[in-house]
Structure 1
Amino acid sequence: MGTRNLDRRTILKAAGASAATLGLAATTGCGGGSGSGNGTVTIRYSWWGAEERAKKINQSIALFEQKYPKIKVKTDFQTYDSFWEKFQTQAAGGNPPDVFQNAVTFLRKYDKRGILLDLKPQVEAGNLSLDHFRAGVTKVGEVDGKQLGIPVGSNTMSLVIDKKLFRKAGVEPRPGWTWDEYFKALKTIRDKTRVPGDTGYFTIMYLYDLYLRQNGKAFFTDDGLGFDQADLTEWWTDGLGRVRAGVVTDPKTVQQDKPKSSLSAGHGASEFTWDNFTVRYSAEGDSEYGLAPIPTTDGKHTGQYLASLMLSASARTSHPKEIAQFIDFMVHDPRVGTIMGYDRGILTSTEQFAAYKPADAVNKEIAQYEEDTAKAGVLGAITPHPSGADTIEAAFMRIGGDLGQGKSKVSDAVKQFFTEAEAAFQA
Structure 2
Amino acid sequence: MRENGKVERRTVLKAAGASVAALGLATATGCGGNSGAGNGTVTIRYAWWGADERAKRINQSIKLFEKKYPKIKVKTDFQDYVAFWEKFQTQAAGGNPPDVFQNAVGFLRKYDKRGVLLDLKSQVDAGNLSLDNFREGVTKVGEADGKQLGVPVGSNTMALVIDKKVFDKAGIEPHTGWTWDDYFKALKTIKDKTGIPGDTGYFSIMYLYDLYLRQNGKAFFTKDGLGFDQSDLTEWWTDGYSRVKAGIITDPKRVEQDKPKSSVTAGHGASEFTWDNFTVRYTAEGTSTYGLAPIPTTDGKQTGQYLASLMLSASARTAHPKEVAQFIDFMVHDPEVGKIMGYDRGILASKEQYAAFKPTDEVNKEIAQYEDDTAKAGVLGTITPHPAGADTVESAFLRIGGDMSQGKTKVSDAVKQFFSEAQSAFSA
Measured in 1, the distance between the counterparts of 2:260 and 2:13 equals 14
1:243 CA drift (Å):
0.6
**Match in the other structure for 1:397:** 398
**Where do residues 163-202 of structure 1 align in structure 2 (5 Å cutoff)?**
163-202=164-203
Relative distance call for 1:2 and 1:142 in structure 2 (3 A) is closer
**Match in the other structure for 2:18:** none
Measured in 2, the distance between the counterparts of 1:324 and 1:414 equals 43
1:11 CA drift (Å):
7.0
Contact 1:32–1:96 (CA<8 Å) still a contact in 2?
A: no
Measured in 2, the distance between the counterparts of 1:418 and 1:352 equals 42
Q: Which residue identity is paired with 2:48?
A: W
TM-score for the superposition, normalised by structure 2: 0.94
**Match in the other structure for 1:108:** 109
**Match in the other structure for 2:21:** none
Q: Which residue identity is paired with 1:58?
A: N
341-350 vs 74-83, which moves further: 74-83
Count of matched residue pairs: 412
Measured in 2, the distance between the counterparts of 1:32 and 1:318 equals 4
Measured in 2, the distance between the counterparts of 1:91 and 1:259 equals 30
**Match in the other structure for 1:203:** 204
SS at match of 2:46: strand
Relative distance call for 1:43 and 1:264 in structure 2 (3 A) is same
Contact 1:107–1:148 (CA<8 Å) still a contact in 2?
A: yes
1:93 CA drift (Å):
1.1
Relative distance call for 1:384 and 1:310 in structure 2 (3 A) is same
1:32 CA drift (Å):
2.8
Relative distance call for 1:396 and 1:402 in structure 2 (3 A) is same
Give the % identical residues. 81
Relative distance call for 1:205 and 1:363 in structure 2 (3 A) is same
- Say if 2:135 is the partner of 1:149: no
**Match in the other structure for 1:247:** 248
**Where do residues 23-422 of structure 1 align in structure 2 (5 Å cutoff)?**
32=33, 34-422=35-423
Q: Which residue identity is paired with 1:360?
A: D
Contact 1:198–1:269 (CA<8 Å) still a contact in 2?
A: yes
**Match in the other structure for 1:17:** none
**Could you say what the CA RMSD is over the residues aligned between the two structures, in angstroms?**
1.6
Measured in 1, the distance between the counterparts of 2:84 and 2:243 equals 37
Deviations 1:95-149 (A, max 9, x none): 1100000000000000000000000010011100000000000000001110000
Deviations 1:286-318 (A, max 9, x none): 110000000000000000000000000000000
**Match in the other structure for 1:24:** none
Contact 2:297–2:303 (CA<8 Å) still a contact in 1?
A: yes
SS at match of 1:32: helix
Relative distance call for 1:373 and 1:381 in structure 2 (3 A) is same
Measured in 1, the distance between the counterparts of 2:260 and 2:31 equals 41
SS at match of 1:261: coil
Identify unmatched segments of 5+ residues in structure 2: 15-29
Contact 1:128–1:325 (CA<8 Å) still a contact in 2?
A: yes
Deviations 1:214-261 (A, max 9, x none): 000000000010000000000000000011111111101111111111
TM-score for the superposition, normalised by structure 1: 0.94
Measured in 2, the distance between the counterparts of 1:114 and 1:292 equals 41
